Structure 1
Amino acid sequence: MFFNAWNILVVDDEPDVLAVTKLALRDVTVYGLPLKIYTASSKAQAVELLKGPLVLQGSDEPIVAVALVDVVMESDQAGLELCKYIREEAGGHSMQLYIRTGQPGIAPERSVIDDYDISGYFTKVELTEQKLYTLVKSGVRQWFTSWYALMTESSTNHIIANSSSRKAFLEKGIGWFGEPGPQEGEVVTGFIFDKKTIVSDYPQHIRPLYDRLDALKPVIQTPEGHKLAMDEMGNLLVKTVKAKTTADYVYVGESNMIMPRLLLELTFKSGLAFSTLWKKITDAEKKAALVKPIAKKPQKKTGKKAIVKPVNTIAKKAVKKRW
Structure 2
Amino acid sequence: MKRAYNFNAGPAALPLEVLKKAQEEWLDFNGTGMNVMELSHRSKDYEAVHNKAIALLRKLLSISDDYEILFLQGGASTQFSMIPMNLLNKDKVGHYVLTGSWSEKALKEAKKVGQTAVLASGKENNYQTIPTLDKIELQDDAAYLHITSNNTIFGTQWKTFPEVSGAPLIADMSSDILCKPIDVNKFGLIYAGAQKNLGPSGVTVVIIRKDLIGQAPEAIPTMLDYKTHSGNNSLYNTPPTLAIYLLSLVLEHVDSLGGLSVMEKMNEEKANVLYDVIDGSNGFYKGHATPDSRSTMNVTFTLQSDEATAAFLAQAKELGFIGLAGHRSVGGCRASIYNAVPLEHVQKLAEFMKSFQSSY
TM-score bracket relative to the smaller structure: under 0.3
* Structure with the larger RCO, 1 or 2 (CA within 8 Å, 6+ apart): 2
TM-score, normalised to structure 2, is 0.21
Larger Rg: 1
TM-score, normalised to structure 1, is 0.22
